[in-house]
């Protein structure tokens, strides 16, 4: 089997996923909620988030197969983010989705969803901003599935 060659265009596509370009300014709308509250990170953070966006969707499918074959549907698919921040990162004045939004987005167009999601951060201002942002997000049709499935 021939191996697919990854190049800079693959990385560019992943970075656009982090900017939520396919969601028509939704990231900007979320950023306007608690508008001065962002995680400020360094340049390597997008690489970590690209990895998360790539793997999260795949793993829910693996877990769904386990759930159906070995656990008779009793297995719950749970996402835990102990350092979730406020959901939006700012890197050199560019806004990108943070880990909670990346993980939610990675399974949104999938048939398999998380049964529960737990988000935590030591800074109460980040947790407050994330609550408000996820409440807003859950009102959007594409993301309505998250309603009553997340705990902060």
CA distances from 92 to 40, 44, 122, 133, 146 (A): 9, 12, 24, 22, 30
Counts of helices then strands in the chain (DSSP H, E): 5, 6
* Domain assignment present for 129: yes
pLDDT digits (tens, 9 = 90+) for 30-40: 999 998 899 88
CA distances from 131 to 22, 66, 119, 128, 148 (A): 23, 31, 10, 5, 12
**If you average pLDDT over residues 67-82, what whole number do you get?**
80
Which domain, by its residues, includes 111? 10-151
CA distances from 2 to 5, 55 (A): 9, 21
Predicted confidence at residue 73, as pLDDT, reads 62
* Domain assignment present for 97: yes
* Domain assignment present for 18: yes
* Domain assignment present for 52: yes
Determine the angle formed by the axes of helices 99-108 and 8-18, rounding to 10 degrees: 100
What is the per-residue burial (b if ≥16 Cβ within 10 Å, else e) of 137-148? bbeeeebeebee
Return the SS3 of 149.
coil
Q: The whole model's pTM is what?
A: 0.86
* Domain assignment present for 55: yes
Token couple for 77: 């698919």
* Between 51 and 1, residue with greater pLDDT: 51
pLDDT digits (tens, 9 = 90+) for 102-137: 999 999 878 888 999 999 999 999 999 999 999 999
* Domain assignment present for 5: no
Residue 138 CA to residue 6 CA, distance in Å, equals: 34
Residue 1 pLDDT > 60: no
* Domain assignment present for 35: yes
The total number of structural domains that make up the chain: 1
* Domain assignment present for 86: yes
* Residue 8 CB coordination number (10 Å): 7
Q: Which band of pLDDT confidence, cut at 50, 70 and 90, is reported for residue 139?
A: very high
Residue 49 CA to residue 96 CA, distance in Å, equals: 9
């Amino acid at each position: 089997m021939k191996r697919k060659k990854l190049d800079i265009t693959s990385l560019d596509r992943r970075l656009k996923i982090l900017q939520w370009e396919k969601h028509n300014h939704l990231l900007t709308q979320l950023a306007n909620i608690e508008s001065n509250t962002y995680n400020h990170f360094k340049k390597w953070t997008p690489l970590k988030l690209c990895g998360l966006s790539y793997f999260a969707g795949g793993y829910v499918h693996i877990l769904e197969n386990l759930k159906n074959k070995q656990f008779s549907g009793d297995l719950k698919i749970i996402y835990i983010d102990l350092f979730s921040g406020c959901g939006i990162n700012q890197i050199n004045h560019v806004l990108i989705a943070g880990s909670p939004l990346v993980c939610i987005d990675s399974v949104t167009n999938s048939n398999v969803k998380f049964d529960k999601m737990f988000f935590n951060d030591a800074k109460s201002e980040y947790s407050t901003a994330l609550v408000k942002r996820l409440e807003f997000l859950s009102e959007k049709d594409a993301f309505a599935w998250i309603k009553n499935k997340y705990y902060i």
